[in-house]
A and B are shown apart, each in its own frame.
Chain A
């Protein structure tokens, strides 16, 4: 509970709230919260992976594991590319790699599907928010991202760097003969 929450409660009564639900009984606090709801329009939260449902429908029990796998692959590819010291091209390369991964998760080839399902069936990998076995993730990345994908990732990253250099040339007013 924040100091401000505490102040709201204290201003309404001298009793300490027993539960967070007690905040709802405080008119001033509630009105402030409702106003914030109105401003944003829809208070939605949550990382939705329903785009992966097509694959999960083969085995619905694996849906949430697929979601865990997705964010774990996102993290692993970020850490992998970070290690390459690509400078400002890092974020572009990472974003492109993630797009490729999502495409593979949505529409896997039979071979990729086989590898993904093998990982999803390993109970020991799914006891946390992320899969911590990086070796497993690296091996899966190797199967999911083809040579062609990496060429594409490199090309997008190179374009990004080229654009930044040219912008700097204009910004710094460096004459080009």
Chain B
């Protein structure tokens, strides 16, 4: 799987072609060699995430999918989604795609580097996950628990804030309801 997307250069706001691809060992190697020291240095909450383990696991798991965004041979972002176990909290009984984890490269985080090297990694992943939800028959429904301090981004994405989830250590849960275009086409 390979899909062309466009990242935005942080220094001049021009766009540049990148690729959204399935998660591979190369991306994990980038995480270990290019990301991890920076994440530790800047005390990022995902500094010890074991992506190697996750890659090994999803290769045998029918309900998990991993993706990466590549540009210039470097991994710019990583995402893992779950596709069968999670249900909508807006419409009970409906399945959704659940975003297990999403992360951007340290040089793309404005709390580490400003201006960031590339922007829009998170935006692309969110809309891609929503697209997978449509492809899987979940009509665009998508759920996630946001890391503390990131809620504003998911608000901006127009996801519905369903509040702090006690069972998930009070992380705020956000959900996209049905994608309207799909709704319209099924009504026709």
> A residues engaging B (CB < 8 A)?
1-2, 4-6, 16-21, 23-24, 30, 32-48, 50, 53, 60-61, 63-64, 68, 71, 74-75, 78, 94, 98, 127-130
- Of the candidates A20, A23, A43, A127, the one whose C-beta lies within 8 Å of that of B122 is A43
**Per-residue CB proximity of B83-118 to A under 8 Å, as 1/0?**
001110000000000111111100001111000100
Complex CA distance for A160 and B53, rounded to whole angstroms: 40
Q: Let me know if B26 is at the binding interface, CB within 8 A.
A: no
Minimum CB–CB distance for B11 against chain A, Å: 13
Chain B: minimal CB distance from A24 (Å): 6
Q: Counting CB contacts under 8 A, is B27 at the interface?
A: no
Contacts of A17 in B (CB 8 A): 181
The B interface is mostly helix, strand or loop, or mixed, namely mixed
Q: Is the interface of A mostly helix, strand, loop or mixed?
A: helix
Question: Do B153 and A43 touch (CB < 8 A)?
Answer: yes
A171-B3 Cα distance, complex, nearest whole Å: 61
Q: Does B162 contact A (CB under 8 A)?
A: no
Cβ of B21 within 8 Å of any chain A Cβ, yes or no, is no
Q: Give the distance in Å from the alpha carbon of A2 to the alpha carbon of B158 in the complex.
A: 7
Q: Is B187 an interface residue (CB 8 A)?
A: no
Shortest distance from the beta carbon of B77 to any chain A beta carbon, whole Å: 9
By a beta-carbon cutoff of 8 Å, the part of chain B in contact with chain A is: 5-6, 8, 44-46, 48-50, 53, 56-57, 60-61, 64, 80, 85-87, 98-104, 109-112, 116, 119-124, 127-128, 130-131, 134, 140, 144-147, 149-158, 166-169, 171, 179-181, 184
Shortest B110–chain A CB gap in Å is 5
Residues of chain A within 8 A (CB-CB) of B146 are 44-45
B169: nearest residue on chain A (CB-CB)? A47
Q: Cα distance A128–B96 when bound, in Å?
A: 12
Which of A74, A98, A129 is close to B86, meaning CB atoms less than 8 Å apart?
Answer: A129
Contact at A47–B145, with CB atoms within 8 Å? yes
Whether the pair A46, B101 counts as a contact (CB closer than 8 A) is: yes
Pair A24/B124 contact, Cβ less than 8 Å: yes
Decide: A40 near B152, CB < 8 A? Known: A24-B5, A45-B99.
yes
Q: A21 contacts B131, CB within 8 Å?
A: yes
User: Chain B residues near A19 (CB, 8 Å)?
Assistant: 131, 134, 181
- A sample of 24 inter-chain contacts (CB < 8 A) reads A1-B181, A20-B127, A24-B5, A24-B6, A24-B120, A32-B156, A36-B155, A38-B119, A40-B149, A41-B111, A41-B149, A43-B153, A44-B147, A45-B99, A45-B101, A45-B144, A46-B101, A50-B49, A61-B57, A63-B53, A75-B167, A94-B166, A128-B87, A129-B98
Residue in contact with B44 in the complex, picked from A30, A42, A64, A71, CB distance below 8 Å: A42
Given A21-B131, A33-B120, A38-B116: A45 in contact with B179 (beta carbons within 8 A):
no
A78 contacts across to B, CB distance below 8 A = 166-167
A55 CA to B119 CA in the complex, in Å? 37
